[in-house]
A and B are shown apart, each in its own frame.
Chain A
Amino acid sequence: MTPFPLMDWLRRQFGGEKKKRSAFASEQEAYEFVQKIYEDSGGVSPELRRAYQFYLRNFHDDCPAERGPL
């Protein structure tokens, strides 16, 4: 016998079905969206390149991959 899905019932009672539409219908749609942005943009824009070069010129260029002690 399937147990009574209490959580599902509660979710429906308290607005679970009203969940807002998400930005993407699926992971596949998100992947294709990102792929298209990349193809259309051609990668690094002149502005992003300038920003990156500004960073390298002016700041300590360490950006450790690890965050340090937690």
Chain B
Amino acid sequence: MTTVRRNVDLSKIQFTALPNDKVLDRFRCGERQIDDWAEKCADLDRQPRARVFCAMGEEEPLAHGFYSLSMTGVSAKGFDERGAEHFTHSGFIPFIYIDYIAVREESKGNGIGTGLMVDALRRCTAVARNVALFGVALNSLNAKTTAYYRSLRFGEKSQPNMQYPLMVLPVWTLFDLEKIRAE
């Protein structure tokens, strides 16, 4: 089935905490793993094991996209033990994890993904100003996203038998990024 892309007025987009359980209904982004996760992220947000933020259009019932932040990565259960990989035997590595970041198929091509990524990084910066962190981490799901994250200067931590590479953006890059506003 062909997805019809739509033009989105970015000036009407607000990045907001998950407003209700329905905004991610029928979420399809082309990555089944993310689509499955979107179905249950409202529960994870309530627990709270993740914090979910959405790109919402004015008076639109469905989110164009979302990102999710946590301190532990996605729960290992059912996700190839991705969450468990983040812990060391000796302790906890202080990263904020972008569990998932995705845009609906029909809303792609408008720059919403870029907006979501920058908004996520800004939110991480706000945390890093108050809590000591090493950076922002994520697991890249495919070669295309890995190349994109590399272009943003996420460093890759290669591991044997790791399906999804762990990628990290240093905390100092977050602080440098905020300086651009003052230029």
Contact = CB atoms under 8 A, between A and B. Distances in A.
Chain B's interface size range is 35 or more
A38 B119 CA distance: 21
Interface string A21-58: 11111110011011111101101110111011111101
A22 B87 contact: yes
Interface in B135-183: 135, 151-155, 157, 159, 162, 166, 168-173, 176-177, 180-181
Contact of A45 (B95, B123, B151, B172): B151
Contacts, number: 128
Contacts of B171: 34
Contacts of B10: 58-59
A1 to B, nearest CB: 28
A55 B118 contact: yes
A59 B88 contact: no
A51 B152 contact: yes
Nearest to B51: A67
Interface of A: 19-27, 30-31, 33-38, 40-41, 43-45, 47-49, 51-56, 58-60, 63, 65, 67-68, 70
In the A-B complex, the 9 residue pairs with the closest CB atoms: A37-B155, A55-B118, A38-B170, A65-B126, A41-B153, A47-B151, A58-B10, A43-B176, A45-B153
25 contacts: A20-B84, A22-B88, A22-B89, A23-B85, A23-B162, A23-B166, A26-B88, A27-B90, A27-B93, A30-B93, A33-B155, A34-B134, A34-B168, A34-B171, A37-B153, A38-B172, A41-B173, A47-B152, A48-B153, A52-B118, A52-B177, A60-B11, A63-B126, A67-B17, A68-B17
